[in-house]
Amino acid sequence: MSSFLAVLAAFFLALQGSLMAGVYRKFDRLSIVCFRGLSLGLSMFPLLYFVPQTAFTLAKPSFPQLVGAALITACANTCSAESYKRLAVGFASALGFSSAAVFGVLIDIFYFKNSIRIDQLLLIAGIVVTLLVLSRSGKETVLVREGRMGVGISFSLIFGAFIAVAFAIVGELSIASHPFLVGYCWEFMIGLCAGGLAMFRRVVFRGEGVAKIQRETFLKILLFARPTAVGTGLYLTALTSGPLSIVMAVLSIAMIFSMLFGWILYQERFSFRQIQLMCLITAFVGMLHLRSSVP
């Protein structure tokens, strides 16, 4: 059951990321991350109806960790938005999920004090080598939308590091409390934290605060971000009914979905060789998650 929920979560999360890519490419990314989180505070609010009262009580002691996870994710989502602005959707997704998987293993080693095994090292090496081959395959214009490829790749790698930490925190909180409550608070507070970061940028760096957008743009964000409500709810529910390693392994299929949505929505067509490489990366990431659960 958890695997089926993870497949559905991968579909909806890939859909919202692909839809939001078009918005990220037109507006200030940090501001859009803010509006996306606030819009999810509206669209996900009905989920709280299904949360028992006891879950609210259990969640109170974990509020500081949830705020920390939201702040980290606000930074992660902004980096992801910057990568979507510069790279093709499928390529940015492959980089983000792969780096998140690798950093997840590093967290397991350095924080949870688990030793790394030779099979994990081989899978990480396989991911890195395949990504390098992918980045050098065919014409760069297929993979890059704007600017330099190295900048987009850097943002994807930073996203992977941040989101791996956030997923580790939120995964534990959803098991201790209720997935719908944790998911709602997490997504809504991401928007609040992104707004706070925008104001910090304005005060400290004399940059832009939260950008003003038209009502039609906010409604578009509200519509495009809605699959997140479904995807996040399914992901956190899957965590409560199955092992984290299996859920994360299946969730890697989002890379394939992102590639398809990028082709449908933005005509980002990859060569057959590039498609093979992305499928290979997906398989490596899935196996890395599965092998991470083996003692």
- Residue % of the chain over a pLDDT of 70: 96
Is the pLDDT assigned to residue 51 strictly greater than 70?
A: yes
Torsions phi, psi for 144 (to 5 deg): -110, 130
Count other C-beta atoms under 10 Å from residue 3's C-beta. Answer: 15
21-35, 50-64, 79-93, 271-285: least confident range: 50-64
Is the pLDDT assigned to residue 91 strictly greater than 60?
A: yes
Is the pLDDT assigned to residue 205 strictly greater than 60?
A: yes
Of 200 and 58, the one with more pLDDT:
200
Residue 77 structure tokens: 């989502």
The count of C-alpha atoms lying within 13 angstroms of the C-alpha of 285, restricted to the half-sphere facing its C-beta, is 32
For 10, the 3-state DSSP assignment is helix
CA distance 212 to 48: 29
Stated pTM of the model: 0.90
* Sole residue written with tokens 């989101």: 163
Provide the pLDDT confidence category of residue 138 given band limits of 50, 70 and 90: low
Is the pLDDT assigned to residue 170 strictly greater than 80?
A: yes
**Among the listed residues 158, 164, 186, 183, the one whose alpha carbon sits nearest the alpha carbon of residue 285:** 164
Provide the pLDDT confidence category of residue 22 given band limits of 50, 70 and 90: very high
CA distance 122 to 66: 34
Residue 83 structure tokens: 């990568």
Domain tally, the chain: 1
The whole domain housing 66 covers 2-292
* Sole residue written with tokens 């989920």: 47
pLDDT, average across residues 250-254? 87
DSSP 164-209: HHHHHHHHHHHHHS-HHHHHHHHHHHHHHHHHHHHHHHHHHH----
Crossing angle of helices 179-205 and 29-43, in 10° steps, is 150
